[in-house]
Each structure stands twice: as structure tokens, then as C-alpha cells.
């Protein structure tokens, strides 16, 4: 049979496709947030959707995260399926009470009688030159809370499949996108572009097989890991690269199986080191069966432990670069 058609799709278009398909599929789904309707979205993720679906399904809100997140949570409690866009996740701090106290805990506190099927989505982590108040990663913040599912896509396929899964899920889902990936094209198979394509929440993906060291990352650093793996391959080091995809529930089994094979672990993330995603992975490996297979201590590569500087050269030195990953791998392998 002929090879399946593969085309290049940007993360922006993959997200747009997912929203369009789910709005069409289920009339309970609606999108709300700042500038999502008439302006086509601050990052053009919702381009064309207001024209197609109208005021009831794509709703421009006032600049009040606490207000519109609360409206969305209330709508989810009466079985609508809102997609609540934060212009950046830094602004979700205005609404964190709604996300955690109202959305995450209600199903448990109502003994399962009030599910809250809602998606909170938007760009997370560092962009470029937007300084400390617009650059932090919330994976560890939201990943800490029972009652939430937390997803962090890298590729266009991740973005589409995970957003569709999130919208269909009966639990509150926090979807942490990367602004710097929105315009990046990825190969997408014909299957991934079908209307029924979903990626199960809670499953990591091995992006590259390898035998010497396990690299685990989520969001944009997955790409950095693949670049570092290409550099190290020239020196005879074969990295296995794992794209976490989901922060909570974390697929530690895939990481364990890889560590059993490679005997070395390096975690990579854009967030701060203390209580970070990498810290959690290291602790889980330490507590589990894979610990006995480690030939060296696990190494974490993280953002610098500072509020994000504004100056470009300082920003570059505050975010993990390919050279930092290469250095960490060599440290883990005692090279």
C-alpha cells in the first residue's frame, strides 16, 4: 500500500483544528477568553471560529480571569463543556482559586455527583523578552493538585490529540501550551488529522530510541533534547528521548522501563528547580524498581532559580539550552 500522506502542520493550526472539530462534534462545547472571538485570538488559535459558530459558542470576555474562569466552572457544573483560554498562564494566578478550589475539588467534595468537564488552556512558561511576570512555568504548580489532569504538548500531533482528549474528558484539565511553538511546523500523519484522533491523557511517548541515557522532557525542551541527542550521537552516545505529554497523571512506567534499559537519567524542563517536574521524576525513580538499575545519579536540567530576566542574553542563560543538556548527559555518563 502507498505510504500514508504526511503534511506539515503548525501547532497553532493543530489547536485550531482540534477546537473546530470539537465545537462541531458537541454543541455543549464553547470557548471563552480575552480576544478569542472577534479578534480571532491573541495568538490566532481560534482564527475563524467566531465567524463559524457565533456569539454563543465563542465568547469574548472582559479582562477578568477570576470572573470568566468562574463563569466557565459554573457552566461545567451544569454539564456544558467550556474551554477557558488564559492569554498566558501567568494570568491564571488571578483565577487559581477557581481552578483549584472550584474546579479540581468539586467532584471529590460532591462524592462524585458533580463532575466539572472543563479545559483551561493557553501559553505557559517562557516566551521571548517578556520578563519575569510573563515567563514562569506552571507545570509543577498545577501538577501538584489532585483533581486536575495536566497536559503539556510539544508537537502539532500532541497539541491536537491532547486538546481533543481534554475537551472530551469529564475532569478539569489544565493544558499548558508553549507560545514559542505556535508557529512551528511538525509532520502530521493522515491519521493524526482525522476527526477521531485523540491521544490518551497519561501516556508518554518515546520520540527517539536509545541505549545509553534516558532524557525526559515536556513541552518545548523535548525539541532541545532531540537536538542534543543528534549532537551526542556523533560522539557515539545514543539518547532515548521521552516526551512526557502529561504531567499529571505522570507516566512513570515508561520512564522506568527506559531507565532499566539505559541505566542513566537526565530530566529537562523550563521551570524552576525546586519542587519541579524533574524533582518529582527523580523521586519516583528513586522510590521504584528502576532505582537499582541506575549506574549514576540522575541529573536535572532546569530553568535558573531566578525570576526571568528581561535582557536577552540573561534570558538565554536562564532557560535550558542544547549545550546544557549535552553537558548534563556527559556528567551522567562520566565523560
Residue 107 per-residue DSSP state = H
| Alpha-carbon gap, residue 178 to 193, rounded angstroms | 21
- Please tell me whether residue 288 adopts helix, strand or coil conformation: coil
Active site residue 144: no
Q: Which residues pair with 243 in a beta bridge?
A: 205, 217
Catalytic site residue from 65, 207, 240, 315: 65
For cell 522501563, what's the residue?
Answer: 257
In 173-282, the DSSP E strands lie at 173-177, 185-189, 205-208, 213-217, 239-243, 246-248, 265-268
Cα-Cα-Cα-Cα dihedral sign, residues 182, 220, 157, 249: negative
Which three three-digit cell numbers place residue 285? Answer: 525513580
Instruction: Give me the residue label for grid cell 514559542.
Output: 180
SS3 content of the chain, % helix, strand, coil (to 5): 40, 20, 40
Cβ neighbours of 266 (radius 10 Å): 26
List the catalytic residue out of 34, 134, 256, 315. Answer: 134
Q: Find out whether the peptide bond into 33 is cis, omega within 30 degrees of 0.
A: no
Burial category of 93 from C-beta neighbours within 10 Å (exposed 0-12, middle 13-18, buried 19 and up) = middle
Cβ(211)–Cβ(240) under 8 Å? yes
Annotated active-site residue 218? The verdict is: no
Catalytic residue numbers read 65, 134
Amino acid at each position: 500500500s502507498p505510504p500514508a500522506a504526511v503534511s506539515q502542520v503548525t501547532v497553532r493550526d493543530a489547536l485550531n483544528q482540534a477546537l473546530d472539530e470539537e465545537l462541531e462534534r458537541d454543541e455543549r462545547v464553547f470557548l471563552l477568553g480575552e480576544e478569542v472571538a472577534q479578534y480571532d485570538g491573541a495568538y490566532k488559535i481560534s482564527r475563524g471560529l467566531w465567524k463559524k459558530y457565533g456569539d454563543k459558542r465563542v465568547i469574548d470576555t472582559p479582562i477578568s480571569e477570576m470572573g470568566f474562569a468562574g463563569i466557565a466552572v459554573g457552566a461545567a457544573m451544569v454539564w456544558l463543556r467550556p474551554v477557558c483560554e488564559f492569554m498566558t498562564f501567568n494570568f491564571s494566578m488571578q483565577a487559581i482559586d477557581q481552578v483549584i478550589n472550584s474546579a479540581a475539588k468539586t467532584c471529590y467534595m460532591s462524592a462524585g455527583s458533580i463532575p466539572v468537564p472543563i479545559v483551561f488552556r493557553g501559553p505557559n512558561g517562557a516566551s521571548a523578552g517578556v520578563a519575569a511576570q510573563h515567563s514562569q512555568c506552571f507545570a509543577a504548580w498545577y501538577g501538584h493538585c489532585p483533581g486536575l489532569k495536566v497536559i503539556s504538548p510539544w508537537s502539532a500531533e500532541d497539541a491536537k490529540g491532547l486538546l481533543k482528549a481534554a475537551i472530551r474528558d469529564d475532569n478539569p484539565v489544565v493544558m499548558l501550551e508553549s507560545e514559542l511553538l505556535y508557529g512551528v511546523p511538525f509532520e502530521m500523519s493522515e491519521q493524526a488529522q482525522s476527526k477521531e484522533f485523540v491521544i490518551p491523557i497519561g501516556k508518554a511517548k518515546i520520540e527517539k530510541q536509545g541505549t545509553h541515557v534516558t532524557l525526559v522532557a515536556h513541552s518545548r525542551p523535548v525539541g532541545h533534547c532531540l537536538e542534543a541527542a543528534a549532537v551526542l550521537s556523533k560522539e557515539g552516545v545514543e539518547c532515548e528521548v521521552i516526551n512526557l505529554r502529561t504531567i499529571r497523571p505522570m507516566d512513570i512506567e515508561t520512564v522506568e522501563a527506559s531507565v532499566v534499559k539505559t541505566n542513566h537519567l537526565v530530566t529537562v524542563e523550563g521551570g524552576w528547580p525546586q519542587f519541579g517536574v524533574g524533582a518529582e521524576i527523580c523521586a519516583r525513580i528513586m522510590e521504584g524498581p528502576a532505582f537499582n538499575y541506575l549506574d549514576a545519579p540522575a541529573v536535572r536540567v532546569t530553568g535558573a532559580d531566578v525570576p526571568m530576566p528581561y535582557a536577552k542574553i540573561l534570558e538565554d542563560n536562564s532557560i535550558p539550552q542544547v549545550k546544557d543538556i549535552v553537558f548534563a548527559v556527559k556528567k551522567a555518563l562520566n565523560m
